[in-house]
Structure 1
């Protein structure tokens, strides 16, 4: 295990637990609100919280060039990714299929890092990526299956995959040099503009029903995901190699399947349980071998 991973300690595991609840929150809240309206409200509430944190900790505002880089990161990591996932779920894409497609991120990120940024991985780490993806496929096959036929929702899911992959790489390469709170504030500011514009354009005639389920989903999304999970992810990206950081995403579909089984009585088979173990083994392989280059 590398010194970087030891330094991160409990952070990746806390991130996985929190991040896995994203699909659950969307499933709970989206019957009552449009996906982009949900995200715009979530971003507005999150920005208010971050403004308070910045005031309490006397965080300085970044320069305009630094802020612009954060806007790009936010547009990709939050706007494109979350917008794609929420729109896909609203379009009735099975959560398992969405998790499977977004689960391609570790392989895609590692491949791009290897080709573009010379971040080399040992053969065992490449094997771990493949094993982790195989585990993700088993989790999906053992929960809700692959019975999706509408191309509209599928496009949104692929859109989310490209956003989180590109944004993670951009964040690592170009978004340093600013305080974590200030950088994340500007990322959410760009996300609010993006999702707010889409909400006005696509959902202006859709009613919002402020049910108890929607309130729970909104509050949890703001506190647990937009604040806690994202701060953990930004810390991981800052201190860890990209391929190692994104390998943790392989653990998310399995944990999400467990949560869906407990909360919504979704089917959880022996194949899904085997897939979770396989995904965990893949992550262990990626983290076990020190990368020979860290030029990201």
Structure 2
């Protein structure tokens, strides 16, 4: 599918801002839904519904399906990394006692890891100014989450799950940039969610009792994560990856923890102190600095 090119103002500010806002609600949805279902069960349901809805959209719009086995393979691998490993790691980590803020900080290393690998794998040159911006962004994220860091990081297995999530989203971003740039967002996403679901469902059956409390809070969280995150935010991420350098796109993830903290403030009464506000300012400055440059060799 050829994605229509929006106005320059939307390309420069609107799409990245909307992506950060939507992606930031993922931790909120996880917090609402995880008390009612196991993390893998929750994700398996999410993937199945997302794949089904997108398949209906693809059929209704006569979207082209991948024809070559190599395409199917590339899309499936990217889906396993971006959805299966990343989301699975975050959800499992939180369910094992890792604070959402600590989890966000671990995954917040993604822009630095992506920038370090983008040169060798994608031929992108990361300028010193961008490295400075990435470091400034990481410092800002640490300040935003400083108060939560003392509340515990769960057991070793939970922390390890978050580290796996970090490598999943990093590898998935780079793999999608290299092998999925021309992917139709309708049919390609069906393949990705189906692959993630086929990998997650057996694990849920093996390690969880798969029981679900179908109350209003869980249904809202599930629908929100399917419609807003899986269909909306992920599509925006792939549009950004398609049009920009991987290291520059990755720097946007520094804005997610501060934005999540702002959303959690009125919803859950999590107060923001002066240190957190300073951290938000540093993060914004770091992203602005890191987003300028990233060229190909």
TM-score higher than 0.5 here?
Answer: yes
Which blocks of at least 5 consecutive residues in structure 2 are unaligned?
1-6
Match of 2:271 in 1: 267
Match of 1:294 in 2: 296
Residue 249, structure 1, aligned to residue 256, structure 2: no
Give how far 1:179 is off: 1.4
Give how far 1:145 is off: 3.4
Match of 2:217 in 1: 213
Q: Which of 22, 28, 47 is 1:24 aligned to?
A: 28
Mapped partners of 2:257, 2:183: distance in 1: 32
When normalised by structure 1's length, the TM-score is 0.93
When normalised by structure 2's length, the TM-score is 0.93
SS of structure 2 residue aligned to 1:10: helix
Residue 229, structure 1, aligned to residue 233, structure 2: yes
Higher mean C-alpha displacement, 57-66 vs 115-124: 115-124
Contact 1:142 1:268 in 2 (8 A): no
Instruction: Mark the CA change 1:116 to 1:177 in structure 2 (over 3 Å): closer, same or farther.
Output: closer
| 1:26-105 → structure 2 map (5 Å cutoff) | 26-63=30-67, 64-105=69-110
Mapped partners of 2:256, 2:202: distance in 1: 30
Higher mean C-alpha displacement, 207-216 vs 219-228: 207-216
| 1:197-212 → structure 2 map (5 Å cutoff) | 197-203=202-208, 205-212=209-216
SS of structure 1 residue aligned to 2:145: helix
| 1:98-113 → structure 2 map (5 Å cutoff) | 98-113=103-118
Which blocks of at least 5 consecutive residues in structure 1 are unaligned?
none
Give how far 1:118 is off: 3.0
Instruction: Mark the CA change 1:148 to 1:268 in structure 2 (over 3 Å): closer, same or farther.
Output: same
Residue 195, structure 1, aligned to residue 200, structure 2: yes
Instruction: Mark the CA change 1:4 to 1:87 in structure 2 (over 3 Å): closer, same or farther.
Output: farther
Instruction: Mark the CA change 1:114 to 1:32 in structure 2 (over 3 Å): closer, same or farther.
Output: same
Contact 1:75 1:187 in 2 (8 A): yes
Aligned Cα RMSD in Å? 1.7
Deviations, residues 158-187 of structure 1 (Å, cap 9, x unaligned)? 010010001111111112333121111111
Contact 1:97 1:145 in 2 (8 A): no
SS of structure 2 residue aligned to 1:180: coil
